[in-house]
Amino acid sequence: MTQTGAGTPKKAGAQCPSLGPDPVAAAAQRRARTEAWRTDALTRQPGGRDRDDALQRNANAADGRVLHAMAPFSQRRSYATDPGDVADSGKPWHGCSGTLKAMRSDLPAGTPRLRIAVLDDYQGIAETVDWSTIPRPVTLLAIREHISSDAELAVRLADCEVVVAMRERTPIGAGLLARLPALKLLMTTGAFNAAIDVAAAHRLGVTVCGTDGTIAPTVELTWALIHALQRHLIVEDTALRAGRWQQTVGADLAGATLGLVGLGRIGRRVAAVGRAYGMRVIAWSPHLTPERAAAAQVELVSRRTLFETADVVSLHLVLSDSTRRLVGRMELAAMKPSAILINTSRGGLVDEDALIDALRTAGIRGAGLDVYDREPLPADHPLTALRNTVLTPHLGYVTENCMNIFYRDIVDGIAGYCLGEPRRLINP
C-alpha cells in the first residue's frame, strides 16, 4: 500500500494512467461545456428557467467541484444525446443487450478510455447521469436486466475496468472476480455490500469503494406497506376500478401495538412514527439493551412476547448467520391471527416456506414484503398468488434523493480512483 494526500491509502496499481499535461484546465472546460448544454436544454423544455431550481447540484466536499446536476429522473434525458457525444451504433458489446455509449470528452489526445459497467440499472438511470467530470473519456455500459449467471456476467464485463453494483442485486463472488482480469475498481452503492466478496477482490488487486445513502426511503416504504395492509388499499383500489364501493373495514393503528425486531437507525425512525400514531411500541433484538430501548422511548420485551403481543411486526435487522431464518414457524405460530408481518430488511430473515403456510392458513392476517429469498421474485412464486400480501420489488431505497446520492458518489468515487485517491474505501 502506498499513501497519497492526507494519509489516504492508495493501492498499488489502482490508479489511471497519465491524464495529460493539464487535467485541471480540461476538467474546467468539460464542466463549462456541460453547464452550457444543460442551460440550453432547460430553455428548450416546458417551464424553461423556472425548472432551474428543480436541479440539484451535488458538490464534492473535498474540493467543491460540481459532480453533476440532476433533475427528477422522469424529466431528464440521456447525456449521450448531447450533440457532442459519440454514441455507439447500437452494436452490442460482447453480445450484451445493455446500452453502450461513448461519452464526449475534451481530454488530451491519447488519454485512455475508461469502460464502466453499471449492473441492474432497471430504471435506465445511468444514461441520464453526467459522467464528464471523470478525468478520462468514458464508455458506459448500462445493463438494465438482471443477470444471474456468472458465466454470462464474465463475458459481458470482460473489458470493464470499473463495475458499479447497485446494492445487493447481483452477487459478486471470488469465482466471478477471478474471471474479470480488466477489473480494477468495484463500486457499490451504500457503505457495504454483503453480496460482494471484498476479501477476494482485495486479493485480486481490485479496489472496492462505496457511497453514502439515506435511510428515510426505507422508513417511508415500511409505513406504506403497513397502511396498505391495515386499510386494505389494494383490495379497495381493485374493487373501485371494477365499480364496487366500500368492500372492507380497516384496522386501526392508534392503540395498536407495533413490534420492532431490530432497533437500529431505521427501527428507531419507524418507532417514532408509530408513537406519533398513538401506538404502543415494543422491541427486541439479540443485542438490544434496556438503555438503548429507553433512549428510543420503546419498551424492551422478550422475543416471544413481541411475536405474541404485536399487531404489527416489522423487521429491521442486518442479515447474518445468526439472524438468518430468525422468523420461523414458531414465531409465526405465536403471532395473533389478526397481526401482520412487514419485511423491508432482507428476505433471508424469514423462513419463506413457513410464511407462505401461515398466510395460506390464515395463521396471520397478512404480510407486506419488499425483500425475498430470491430476487427478482419469479412471476410464478407462491407469494404472488396470495391475496393477503402486498408485494413490492425491493423499492426500499429507490427514490429520487437516494439515487442522486448514489450516483453523486459513484462519479466522485471513480474520479478519485482515476486521480489515485480512492474514496470511501471498503476493506475486508
Active-site option among 236, 375, 400, 421: 375
The answer to whether the CB of 165 falls within 8 A of the CB of 188 is yes
The whole-angstrom separation of Cα 331 and Cα 311 is 13
CATH of domain 97-213+400-419: 3.40.50.720
The whole-angstrom separation of Cα 227 and Cα 50 is 35
Annotated catalytic residue 346? yes
The one-character DSSP state at 301 is -
List, for residues 203-223, the tens digit of each pLDDT value.
999 999 999 999 999 999 999
List, for residues 376-417, the tens digit of each pLDDT value.
999 999 999 999 999 999 999 999 999 999 999 999 999 999
Domain 215-391 in the same topology as domain 97-213+400-419 = yes
Annotated catalytic residue 374? no
CATH architecture of 215-391: 3-Layer(aba) Sandwich (3.40)
The whole-angstrom separation of Cα 143 and Cα 272 is 39
What global pTM score does this model have? 0.78
Residue 149: its pLDDT value, please? 93
Backbone phi, psi, residue 305, to 5°: -60, -40
- Report the b/e string of 222-260 with b at 16+ CB within 10 A: bbbbbebbbbbeebbeeeeeeeeeeeeeebebeebbbbb
Residue 168: its pLDDT value, please? 87
- Other C-beta atoms lying within 10 Å of the C-beta of residue 191: 12
Residue 192: its pLDDT value, please? 86
Residue-range domain boundaries for the chain: 97-213+400-419, 215-391
Helix/strand/coil (H/E/C) assignment for every residue in 71-108? CCHHHCCCHHHCCCCEECCCCCCCCCCCEEEECCCCCC
Active-site option among 156, 169, 316, 394: 394
The answer to whether the CB of 342 falls within 8 A of the CB of 315 is yes
The whole-angstrom separation of Cα 2 and Cα 315 is 42
Active-site option among 346, 365, 408, 423: 346
The whole-angstrom separation of Cα 58 and Cα 43 is 21
50: left (phi over 0), alpha (psi -120 to 50) or beta: alpha
Q: How many residues does the chain have?
A: 428
Residue 139: in which H helix or E strand, if any? strand 138-142
Annotated catalytic residue 202? no
Residues lower than pLDDT 50 in the chain: 1-24, 26-27, 30-31, 33-70, 77-97, 104-105
The whole-angstrom separation of Cα 323 and Cα 203 is 28
